[in-house]
Amino acid sequence: MKILIVRDKSLSDANGTYGRLSIDGKPFCATCEQPWNNNLANHSCIPVGEYVLIPYQSPAHGPTVVFHNPALGIYGTPEMIPKGVSGRSLCEIHNANWPFQVKGCIAVGRDIVDIAPHGLGVTGSVATLAELTARWGNRTGMTASVQEK
């Protein structure tokens, strides 16, 4: 399975980064992340680039995947970060409605809309994640590309 996330600069601002996720070339859902903050752990969206997605059992979010590309400083789990190297880990795909609810991860939802009381976010996140997890099955052999337009 190939996931493509295309961020929309026209929707993104200092409060969040928004985009669309496609699966094997077919549009699937909306995304939200924190804004770019120099790849700072827990405070930045992930860098643009190509990733391997690794199955991960998240204590907070259940069965999900984590992004992995050491060349971009993103490692699947903390144990994968080489000794003496700095990098981020546990950048998951999970449910959330607003960028402040994700700590360097990517949230999925139906649409990008203004949601009171916190502003722009994604709707239907829990249901969207359930559909996504059903589609990705055992979570092996998955890759992702993160791009900006």
SS3 145: strand
- Which pLDDT value is given to residue 29? 98
Mean pLDDT of the chain: 96
- Which pLDDT value is given to residue 86? 92
Return the closest-CA partner of residue 106 out of 59, 48, 57: 48
Weakly modelled stretches of the chain, pLDDT under 50: none
69-72 long-range contacts, CB within 8 A, separation 24+: 72/39, 72/46, 72/47
- Which pLDDT value is given to residue 134? 95
- What digits encode the pLDDT tens for the residues 31-44? 999 999 999 999 99
Q: Domain map of the chain by residue range?
A: 2-52+93-148
Q: DSSP state, 82?
A: P
Peptide bond into 117 cis (omega under 30): yes
- What CA–CA distance (Å, rounded) separates 67 from 87? 12
- Which pLDDT value is given to residue 10? 93
Return the closest-CA partner of residue 90 out of 98, 81, 82: 81
pTM: 0.95
- Which pLDDT value is given to residue 75? 98
**N-terminal to C-terminal alpha carbon distance within the chain:** 22
